[in-house]
Amino acid sequence: MTTNNLHLYNTLSAQKQKFTPIHAGKVGMYVCGMTVYDYCHIGHARVMVSFDVIYRWLIHLGFDVNYVRNITDIDDKIIARANENGESIFALTDRFIKFMHEDADNLGCLRPALEPKATDFIDKMQGLIKTLESKNFAYQGATGDVYYAVDNFADYGKLSKRKLNEMQAGASERTNVATDKKNPFDFVLWKSAKADEPSETKWQSPWGVGRPGWHIECSAMSTCCLGETFDIHGGGHDLQFPHHENEIAQSEGATGKTYANNWLHVGFVNVDGEKMSKSLNNFFTIRDVLKDFHAETIRFFILSSHYRSPINFSDTALKESHTALSRLYHALKPFDKNDILINNDEKTQFWASEFGQTFTNAMNDDFNTAKATSVLFGAASEINKAVKNGDYEQAKQFAKLLKTLAEPLNIAQSNPNEFLQAIIGEEQGLSKNEILSKIEERKQAKINKNFTLADKIREDLKSQGVELEDTRQGTTWRRV
C-alpha cells in the first residue's frame, strides 16, 4: 500500500484535513442515492461520477472500501407518480432502479458494494425512532405523525453552520402555518397513513399505521451497513441542509457517538448560467444528453472541475470537453492495443515518475481531478513530440504512462479509433436532435409541396456535413 497522504475538505470541520480512517486500511463510505420515480438527471450524474472517482482513488491508494449508496423507494413523489400511472410503487421503483443502473453503467461508474433499499429497513428505522423516543428526541403530534425535537439536540446546525434561533426568527416572519410540531424545524420521523393510501405504502408501527420520513431512512441504512460511526458521508450540496443535518441529529441523538467523521458535498450543476430546475425547464436527463454526446465526454466534463465547485452545463462546455478528450485519444491513436499492454512493474514505475507524483498529489489534495487531468495532457504532449521526432519507443512509453494515470478516473481507456469514430460530429456541427428537427421540417415542407424549401434544408445540412437519404422507411442521415 502506498503511504496515505490523502487530504480532504470536510464540510463538518469546514477545512481541508488529513484523512485518517477509523480502521487502518479500511474505509466505510455512505452516499445518499436516488429517489427512484423518474430518470436520473445531470445533477445525479455529477454525484455518481464524482463519488465513483473518489471510490476508485481510495481503492488505488490501497484501501478496502465499503461503498454504500442507498435507494429511496418509498416517498411522497413515488406514491404520487405510481397513482398517476395506475401502477404499484414497486413496479415503478423497480423500473427506475433498472434505468438508474443503466445510466450509471453508461457513465463508466462502478456499482457500489451495497445498495440498500429503504423498504427493506423499516424495522431498523422503527427501532431507531423508539430509541429516539426513549431519549426524549422524538414525540408524537396530535395528527399522529412522530417528530424529531430539534430543540433537544444541542448540536443542531453544526454541519450547515446554521443556528436554530436565527433560522426560527427568519421562519416566523415568513410563515405562520398551523402545525402540531413543537418547533417549526422539527421534522417527521414517522408519517401516519392517510385513509386513501394503498396498503403497499403502509406499515404497522407503535405509532399507528404509516411510513417512515425520508431522513430516518439514511440514518438507519448507513448504520446497519457501516456501523454507528463511519469514515465518509457524501451527497449533493443541496442535501447538506436539512437532510444531512437531520441525519446527524437522529444518529448522534440515538447513539451519543459521532455519526460520520468526514462529510463530502458535490457542487451544483447550473445550466447555461442558471440553476437547473424543472420549473425553468432547463432540466436534462442523462439519457437526453447521451443522445448528443458520448458518455465519456460527459464523464470528462464532470471531472474537468473540482467536485465541490459549481459547474455550468451547456452545449459549448460539452463540446469543449469533447475537444479536450479527443486530444488524449488522438495522442493514443498510433498505438495498437497490444502495443500498450502495461505490466505491474511498469505501473509502479509510472506512478513513481514525476508525472505520476504530480497526478497523485493533485488527487490527494481533496480529489482535484481538474489538476490531475492536466497531467494527462502533459503526457499527451510528450507522446506527440516523440512521434514527431520519430521516436516510437519513447512515444509508446508515454502512451502507457497516460493510460496508467487515467485509469483511476476511468477515462482514455477505450480503443482510440473506436472512440474517435463514435464522437465524430459532437464537437462541431449539429447535434442529433437538431438534425432530426431539420428532417422533420423538410418532411413538412414536402407535405406542403414547398420543394424549394425541402431542397434548401437538404443542401444546408450537407454544407454542415450531414447527408440525407430518402428511403421507403423514411429519411436516414449520416455524417460525412
- Of 114 and 317, the one with the shorter C-beta distance to Zn ion is 114
Provide the minimum distance between the beta carbon of 35 and Zn ion in the complex, in angstroms, as a whole number. 10
- Of 187 and 313, the one with the shorter C-beta distance to Zn ion is 187
Q: Which of 240, 262, 260, 243 is nearest to 252 (CA)?
A: 260
Provide the minimum distance between the beta carbon of 144 and Zn ion in the complex, in angstroms, as a whole number. 24
Provide the minimum distance between the beta carbon of 308 and Zn ion in the complex, in angstroms, as a whole number. 18
Provide the minimum distance between the beta carbon of 264 and Zn ion in the complex, in angstroms, as a whole number. 13
Provide the minimum distance between the beta carbon of 243 and Zn ion in the complex, in angstroms, as a whole number. 6
Stretch that binds Zn ion, among 26-34, 358-366, 372-380, 384-392 (CB under 5 A): 26-34
Between CA 73 and CA 358 the distance in angstroms is 42
Stretch that binds Zn ion, among 118-126, 131-139, 211-219, 436-444 (CB under 5 A): 211-219
The count of chain residues that interact with Zn ion, using the rule CB under 5 A, is 2
If one asks whether residue 220 binds Zn ion (CB under 5 A), the answer comes out as: no
For the beta carbon of residue 467, count every other beta carbon within 10 angstroms: 12
Q: Are 19 and 6 in contact (CB under 8 A)?
A: yes
- Of 108 and 235, the one with the shorter C-beta distance to Zn ion is 235
Written as nine digits, the cell of 444 is: 413538412
| 54, 411, 435 from 339: Cα distances, Å | 30, 19, 39
- Of 189 and 218, the one with the shorter C-beta distance to Zn ion is 218
If one asks whether residue 218 binds Zn ion (CB under 5 A), the answer comes out as: yes
Between CA 134 and CA 15 the distance in angstroms is 35
- Of 244 and 294, the one with the shorter C-beta distance to Zn ion is 244
Residues 27-46 that bind Zn ion (CB under 5 A): 32
Question: Which run of H or E residues covers position 476?
Answer: strand 474-479
CB proximity list for 206: less than 8 A, separation 6 or greater: 126, 130
How many angstroms from the chain centroid is the CA of residue 382? Answer: 33
- Of 218 and 406, the one with the shorter C-beta distance to Zn ion is 218
If one asks whether residue 225 binds Zn ion (CB under 5 A), the answer comes out as: no
Q: Are 252 and 158 in contact (CB under 8 A)?
A: no
Between CA 36 and CA 181 the distance in angstroms is 29
Q: Under the rule (CB under 5 A), what is the footprint of Zn ion?
A: 32, 218
